[in-house]
Amino acid sequence: MCAGRVVIVTGAGRGLGRAHALAFAAEGARVVVNDLGVELDGAGVSAGPAQQVVDEIVARGGRAVAHGGDIATSEGAASLVATTVDAFGRLDTLVNNAGFLRDRMLVNLDEDDWDAVMRVHLKGHFLPLKYAAAHWRAEAGAGRKVPARVVNTSSGAGLLGSLGQGNYSAAKAGIVGLTLVAAAEMGRYGVQVNAIAPAARTRMTEQTFAEAMAAPGEGEFDAMAPENVSPLVVWLGSAASAGVTGRVFEAEGGRITVMEGWRPGPTADNGARWTPAEAGETAAKLLARAEPAQPVYGVRGVGRG
């Protein structure tokens, strides 16, 4: 499906990113494996995880290179795109996946924990997207428009919220907004931009949800394996997904769901300014006709991704 395509995957040293990189390579793509090799909370740096994935791809007959730059900096994001073009002569697909957690209830959430999660998730999506878009705009201007693809990584926490994850939920919600804007702005260059909200067993989820995400018994389908998410990502990152842009998909186990976001529900127009009492009475009537809100993850046993 991806023969001849060149694909960047950020945060590809472990978990979902690793699964995506291997899946793209299996479909014929040349892959740039970006990873800082940090710990779960973002501390430390190691070139090992990215190089290990590159070695796996090469051992299976594929082509890949490692990139250890910090994609939440302009220098690192620009270097990522430059490394890709230098190594393989083109860029076709960007998968933004890098992230980590600093979970706290809001009253205990430090400013540093907020800033760090916003930086790696939201800024770490924006900057690679910015430099990839500039590359594709230049290519289109030179008459070399390609069926370029971007797959961003949101979360159920970004769609519904998640207890103890105010920073992560806000960042992942921001990624959805960024996806919609990028899809609208970049279509003129031949670029499609979509997002996934995956649920899988990774370093970011296994400690919090060890029981729910435990590995299955022998011969059973492992519904929480990160490899289950990658086929959808590969399709979205390929030319086969032509015409699909500005969409968000949930992916978990063998289930794929097209998410339908904010859209107008019941409405009333007074034709003039409401009084507070009128506004309240009207809002109550509208709420009675509206679909009930989905519960925030972590409330009444609701899971999260």
Domains, the chain, ordered by start: 6-263 (3.40.50.720)
The catalytic residues are 155, 168, 172
Angle ∠(293,298,301) on CA atoms, nearest 5: 90
- What are the C-alpha distances in Å from 252 to residues 10, 143, 159, 232? 20, 39, 15, 10
Pick 218 or 261 by higher pLDDT.
Answer: 261
Q: Which helix (H) or strand (E) holds 91?
A: none
Regarding beta strands 6-10 and 93-95, do their DSSP bridges make them parallel or antiparallel, or are they unpaired? parallel
- The span from the CA of 140 to the CA of 105, in Å, is 46
Q: Render 212-241 in DSSP notation, one character per residue.
A: TTPPPPTTS--TT-GGGTHHHHHHHTSGGG
At residue 65 the predicted structure's pLDDT band, cuts being 50, 70 and 90, is: very high
* Tokens linked to 152: 């961003």
Mean pLDDT across 126-143 = 97
Mean pLDDT across 17-26 = 97
pLDDT, the chain, mean: 90
Pick 204 or 172 by higher pLDDT.
Answer: 172
At residue 42 the predicted structure's pLDDT band, cuts being 50, 70 and 90, is: very low
- The span from the CA of 131 to the CA of 260, in Å, is 29
Residue 81 backbone phi and psi in degrees, to 5: -65, -40
pTM for this entry: 0.90
Contacts of the segment 175-180: beta carbons below 8 A, 24+ positions apart? 175/96, 175/121, 175/122, 175/125, 176/248, 176/261, 178/122, 178/125, 178/126, 178/129, 178/152, 179/150, 179/152, 179/154, 179/246, 179/248, 180/246
Q: Is the pLDDT of residue 299 over 70?
A: yes
Q: What percent of the chain has pLDDT over 90?
A: 78
List 249's β-bridge partners, or say none: 196, 258
Mean pLDDT across 73-83 = 97
- The span from the CA of 12 to the CA of 35, in Å, is 6
Residue whose C-alpha is closest to residue 204's, from 124, 305, 53 = 305
| Residue whose pair of structure tokens reads 């490692």 in the numeric block | 66
What confidence tens digit (pLDDT) does each residue in 237-263 have? 999 999 999 999 999 999 999 999 889
Q: Which helix (H) or strand (E) holds 197?
A: strand 191-199
Q: Is the pLDDT of residue 287 over 90?
A: yes
Q: Which helix (H) or strand (E) holds 129?
A: helix 124-141
Residue 89 has a pLDDT of 97
How many CB atoms are closer than 10 A to CB 17?
A: 29
Q: Look up residue 51 and give its amino acid.
A: Q
